[in-house]
Structure 1
Amino acid sequence: MLSFLMITAAVQVWSIYVKKIKYKNRKLEEVNIQLESANKIILESVDHIMALYQSVNILTNQGNKEGLIKLLFEYAKKITRSNTVFYYDLSSDYNKVTLDGNNDLLKFLEEIITKDLKKILEYKEPVEMHVLNTRFKIIPVKSAYKDYGILGFEATNSKENIIYKNNMHQLQFLSELISIAFERFYLEEINERLLITEEQNRIANEIHDSVLQRLFSMSCGVFSLMKKLDKYSLEEIQKELNLIRKTTDTVMKELRAKIYSLSWKKSGSSSFAMDIKRYIEDIKKLNNVIIPFSIVGSDELLSCKQKKALHRMICEGIGNAIRHGKAEVIEVSLKIDSHNITLIIIDNGKGFDLDKVSESNAKGLGIQNLYQMTESLCGEIKIDSKLGIGTEIEVSVPNNVLIVKGKEAIV
Structure 2
Amino acid sequence: MQEVNRFYRLLIKNPSSKLRLVFLYRYISLLLTSFFYILGPQSPFIFKAGVAVSLGISALILTDLYRKYEHNTTILKSIVITETIGLTLLLIPTGGISSPFIWYALNPVLIAASFLTPLFCWTSLTFYLGSTTLFAYNVFRTNDIGIFLQEKSYFYLVCILTTLLASLYASLTKELDSKASQLKIKQEELLAVNKEITETNQKYSETLEHVMSLYHLMENLASEKSPEKLTNEITNSLVKCTQSDEAFFWLADLDYKNSYIASTSNSTEIEMAIKEKLNKLKGKREAFVSKINKELFWIKVIRTSGNVGILGVKISSSSEAKNTFFLNRPFEFLADLSEIMVERIHMDNVMNQMLLIEEQNRIANEIHDSVSQRLFGIVCSLHSLQAKSETITKEELHAEYQFLSQSTNTTIKELRSAIYRLSTVKKGEEPFLVRLKKYLDEYAKLNDVRITYHITGDESLIENDLKQALYRIICEACGNAVRHGKCGDIQLKLTLLNNKTTLVIQDNGIGISSNYVTDVEEKGIGLLNMKSIVKSFAGIFSIGGKSGMGTEIDIEIPNKKIQNKQGVAG
Q: Give the TM interval when normalised to the shorter protein.
A: 0.7 to 0.9
Q: TM-score, normalised by structure 2?
A: 0.59
1:113 aligns with 2:274: yes
Task: Summarize the alignment of residues 233-312 of structure 1 with structure 2, pairs less than 5 Å apart.
Answer: 233-277=393-437, 280=440, 283-284=443-444, 287-312=447-472
**Which amino acid in the other structure matches residue 81 of structure 1?**
Q
1:226 paired residue number? 386
How far is 1:33 from its partner?
5.8
User: Is the contact between residue 82 and residue 156 of structure 1 (CA under 8 Å) also seen in structure 2?
Assistant: no
1:255: Cα distance to partner? 0.8
Q: Report the counterpart of residue 321 of structure 1 in structure 2.
A: 481
Partner AA of 2:375 in structure 1: L
In structure 1, distance between residues paired with 2:216 and 2:331:
18
Alpha carbons of 1:369 and 1:163: their partners in 2 closer, same or farther (altered >3 Å)?
same
Determine the structure 2 residue equivalent to 1:332.
492
Q: 2:368 maps to which residue? A: 208
Paired residues of 2:235 and 2:247 also in contact (CA < 8 A): yes
Residue 77 of structure 1: aligned partner: 239
Q: Which runs of 5+ in 2 are unaligned?
A: 1-118, 120-181
Q: How far 1:239 moved relative to its partner?
A: 0.6
One-letter amino acid of the structure 1 residue matched with residue 504 of structure 2: I
Report the RMSD for the aligned CA atoms in angstroms. Answer: 3.8
SS of alignment partner, residue 186 of structure 1: helix
Moved more, 357-366 or 389-398: 357-366
- The question of whether the paired residues in 2 share the 8 Å contact of 1:34 and 1:162 is answered with no
State how far apart, in whole Å, the 1-side matches of 2:299 and 2:321 are.
Answer: 18
SS in 2 for 1:96: strand
More helix by share: 2
In 2, the alpha carbon distance for the partners of 1:286 and 1:155 equals 41
* Structure 2 CA distance for partners of 1:114 and 1:28, relative to 1, 3 Å: farther
What is the TM-score with the length of structure 1 in the denominator? 0.79
SS at match of 1:109: helix
What are the Cα deviations for residues 170-198 of structure 1, in whole angstroms up to 9, with x where unaligned? 21122112212222222222222222222
Matched, 1:96 2:256: no
Does the 8 Å CA contact 1:38/1:162 hold for their aligned counterparts?
Answer: no
- Aligned-partner Cα distance in 2 for 1:292–1:211: 47
* Range moving further from structure 2, 79-88 or 286-295: 286-295
Spell out, residue by residue over 1:323-351, the C-alpha distance to the aligned partner (whole angstroms, 9 max, x if none).
43233333222111212221111122222
Q: Percent identity?
A: 32
Q: Who is 1:129 aligned against?
A: 290
Following superposition, the deviation at residue 27 of structure 1 comes to 9.1
Q: Which moved more, 1:289-298 or 1:155-164?
A: 155-164
Q: Does 1:398 align with 2:558?
A: yes
8 Å Cα contact 1:140-1:147 kept in structure 2: no
> Relative CO higher for 1 or 2, CA cutoff 8 Å, sep ≥ 6?
1
- Counterpart secondary structure, 1:196: helix
Look up the SS of the partner of 2:542 in the other structure: strand
Q: Which residue of 2 aligns with 1:344?
A: 504
The residue aligned with 2:222 is 60
Given that 2:452 and 2:491 are in contact with CA atoms closer than 8 Å, whether structure 1 keeps it comes out as yes
2-structure distance, mates of 1:331, 1:167: 40
Task: Please tell me whether the aligned partners of residues 495 and 503 of structure 2 are also in contact (alpha carbons under 8 angstroms).
Answer: yes
Instruction: Give the whole-Å Cα distance in 2 for the aligned partners of 1:291 and 1:68.
Output: 30
Looking at structure 2, the residues matched to 207 and 307 of structure 1 have their Cα atoms a distance apart, in angstroms, of 31
- How far does the alpha carbon of each residue in 1:250-274 deviate from its partner, in whole angstroms, 9 at most, with x for none? 1111111111110012444434334
User: Which amino acid counterpart does residue 210 of structure 2 have in structure 1?
Assistant: H
Answer 1 or 2: which has greater strand percent.
1
Tell whether the 8 Å contact from 2:511 to 2:545 is kept in structure 1 after alignment.
Answer: yes
| Unaligned 5+ runs, structure 1 | 5-20
2:533 and 2:347 mapped to 1: Cα distance? 29
Amino acid corresponding to residue 347 of structure 2 in structure 1: L
> Which position in structure 1 is the counterpart of 2:355?
195
**1:136/1:152 contact within 8 Å kept:** yes
Report how far residue 286 of structure 1 moved. 6.0
Tell me, in whole angstroms, the C-alpha distance in 1 between the residues paired with 2:370 and 2:427: 22
Residues 40 and 376 of structure 1: CA distance in aligned 2, closer, same or farther (over 3 Å) = closer
Distance in 2 (alpha carbons) for counterparts of 1:346 and 1:245: 60
Q: Distance in 1 between matches of 2:466 and 2:199?
A: 45
Aligned 8 A contact 1:34 1:161 in 2:
no
Deviation (angstroms), 1:136: 2.1
Count of matched residue positions in the alignment of Structure 1 and Structure 2:
388
Aligned-partner SS, 2:509? coil
1:140 and 2:267 aligned? no
Q: Distance in 1 between matches of 2:192 and 2:322?
A: 11
Contact 1:37 1:163 in 2 (8 A): no
Counterparts in 2 of 1:162 and 1:210: CA distance versus 1, 3 Å? closer
1:164 aligns with 2:328: no
Shift of 1:358: 1.8
CA 1:274 to 1:122, structure 2 compared with 1: closer, same or farther past 3 Å?
A: farther
| Cα distance in structure 2, aligned partners of 1:69 and 1:272 | 28
